[in-house]
Amino acid sequence: MRPTRSKTWFTRFAKWTARMAGRPVAFVAAVGIIALWGLSGPLFGFSDTWQLVINTGTTIITFLMVFLIQATQNRDGKAVQLKLDELIRAQTKARNVFAALEDAGEDEIKRFEEEFRELRQSGLPRERAVREAARRTQDD
């Protein structure tokens, strides 16, 4: 089964916006807008309205961008997890418990971190480290 292009307008718009916002030209444009605003200060007497324009504009843009970028990050994170799940399940020596690790509690994640730290420090060759990790899973 081949992935298909997203059909929802929001997903397409969120991905496009995140791509555009991450480009250097977007940063340069933002700096340009701030510079123009700053240079226009004397023209408007540095008034409260002049300050309110930039504060309101940046707040609205930031508020909307948070949701768009978060939607894109959630989707990308889920895609990465699925790719990793496929790789884990394809390996005969891998422990499938790691395929659902994003749902694990903090204690379980800390236990795995400690396990891998110990395996690295023990200096076991790769095959023996894999067997040791598998043995520890069976003991639990």
User: What gap in Å lies between CA 15 and CA 132, rounded to an integer?
Assistant: 42
List alpha helices for 22-105, DSSP H.
24-39, 48-90
DSSP 113-128: HHHHHHHHHHT--HHH
Tens of pLDDT, residues 44-54: 999 999 999 99
User: What gap in Å lies between CA 19 and CA 12, rounded to an integer?
Assistant: 11
Tens of pLDDT, residues 38-84: 999 999 999 999 999 999 999 999 999 999 999 999 999 989 988 98
Nearest partner of 115 among 91, 92, 137, 93, judged by Cα = 137
Structure tokens at 16: 């496009």
Structure tokens at 72: 């894109």
